[in-house]
Amino acid sequence: METNFEDPAIVQKTKELCQAILDQPDFLSIRRQVDAFLADESVQVQYQELSNRGAALQHKQQTGLPLDTTEVADFEKRREEFLGNPVAQGFLAASRP
């Protein structure tokens, strides 16, 4: 199957689709929330560390290793701190379908 991306009809429909996305009422708000997250390195680090710790705990649990209560408590503390940040809240809200 050959696709011609120079076809004016395809280009026009692609532009219309992009404009329709931009015209969605929530698009600008979502974009601002994501931009705020991307501009805040400390929140990004918190997010990455939380993701890594969560994955490690999940791996331990799946492999049958006992979960250390200190590790779990530390994860929960970091999670609450992250969720208390308005930039993190905005990013998570923007990430939801």
CB atoms within 10 A of CB 57: 17
Do the domain assignments include residue 2? no
Q: Is the pLDDT of residue 75 over 60?
A: yes
Do the domain assignments include residue 71? yes
CA angle 69, 50, 71 (to 5 degrees): 10
Instruction: Provide the CATH number for the domain around residue 43.
Output: 1.20.1500
pLDDT of residue 7: 81
Range of the domain at 64: 8-95
One-letter amino acid identity for 51? S
Say how far apart CA 43 and CA 91 lie, in whole Å.
Answer: 10
Do the domain assignments include residue 68? yes
pLDDT of residue 5: 65
pLDDT of residue 6: 76
Do the domain assignments include residue 1? no
pLDDT of residue 46: 97
- With b for 16 or more beta-carbon neighbours within 10 A and e for fewer, the 26-40 pattern comes to eeeebeebeebbeeb
Give 11-65 pLDDT, tens digit per residue: 899 999 999 998 988 899 999 999 999 999 999 999 999 999 999 999 999 999 9
pLDDT of residue 71: 93
pLDDT of residue 84: 97
Q: Is residue 49 within 8 Å of 8, Cβ to Cβ? A: no
Number of domains in the chain: 1
Q: Note the helical H segments in the chain.
A: 8-22, 27-39, 41-62, 69-83, 86-95
Do the domain assignments include residue 21? yes
